[in-house]
Amino acid sequence: MDIVSAKPSVEEQCGIKHHLIDILTVEKEFSAGDFVFEATKSINDILSKNKNVIISGGTWFYIKSLINKEALPECRINKELREELSKLDNITLWERLNRLDSKRASLIHPNNKDKVIRSIEMCVQLNMPVSEYKRKENPKYNVLYIMPDIERNILYERINKRVDKMISLGLKEEWRKNKEKYPNNKILYATIGYKEFFDSKLYKDENEIIEKIKQHTRNFAKRQLTYFRSNKEIIPVKNIDEMFRKAEEFYEKNDD
């Protein structure tokens, strides 16, 4: 999914070492707990070399799970169990979760099958109700949250140009190859830039598909901006110089 994810190019990765890129295929599910497990190993390796860590991303829940003081339960994905559970109907699944953890079950609708399965999986691995799990504390990290404070019209213009570039790099062909290689994969169907091609019958031509990719990406960015700007932990910066200035101020306060 190189093009659709705007993955850093090989040339860009030569400038500074990147981690957790190309570690799985779309056949393998990857939970927040899996991300925390893998990312923590990389962070420890980087810190052991007395280097600073840059976490770059947009999925706030994963980032907060990684650096939050209270760690997620370390429950890896159990493919065999998930396959077994997926064959059951929603009500049977929910009732099974209710027997394992009634408090957790009361918070999840029976139709949210993925979440019910994940909850059962966690109860089985922990050998106890998830709701009773006492979270362990992570090592404390000194963290500076920074976001680019881009005017919305400029951001939207960049998004439109980015989609045009993705198309020119072969986005449609990448989608076609992945669709054939991984048929009925829910990750592909849910990805902006792919799902519009899956839904091509809803649109009159390819130009409209491209416009829908731009629109859906802008909508997603708008939701992110709204959330990030409401979060007082995150410092908006106008440019690179301001970013370095904020970083220097942060390190002066946390040089211990």
pLDDT band at 197 (very low <50, low <70, confident <90, very high): very high
What pLDDT does 60 receive?
Answer: 81
pLDDT band at 69 (very low <50, low <70, confident <90, very high): low
% pLDDT > 70, the chain? 94
% pLDDT > 90, the chain? 50
Is the predicted pLDDT of residue 191 greater than 60, yes or no?
yes
Domain boundaries, the chain: 79-132
Q: Indicate the residue type of 141.
A: Y
Give the mean pLDDT of the chain: 88
Average confidence (pLDDT) over 97-109: 91
Q: Each residue of 19-53: pLDDT tens digit?
A: 999 898 888 878 777 888 899 899 999 999 998 89
Query: What is the C-alpha separation between 116 and 94, in angstroms, rounded?
Result: 6
CB contact set of 93 (below 8 Å; sequence gap of 6+):
85, 110, 113, 116, 117, 120
Closest of 57, 128, 117, 109 to residue 86, by C-alpha: 117
This prediction's pTM: 0.73
Q: How far is CA 95 from CA 52, 121, 136, in A?
A: 47, 14, 29
DSSP class of residue 70 equals B
pLDDT band at 214 (very low <50, low <70, confident <90, very high): very high
Query: What is the C-alpha separation between 215 and 195, in angstroms, rounded?
Result: 13
Is the predicted pLDDT of residue 70 greater than 60, yes or no?
no
CB contact set of 159 (below 8 Å; sequence gap of 6+):
214, 217, 218, 221
What phi, psi does 147 have (nearest 5°)? -130, 145
pLDDT band at 256 (very low <50, low <70, confident <90, very high): low
What pLDDT does 137 receive?
Answer: 60
3-state SS class at 237: strand
195 in Cβ contact with 209 (< 8 Å):
no
Query: What is the C-alpha separation between 156 and 214, in angstroms, rounded?
Result: 9
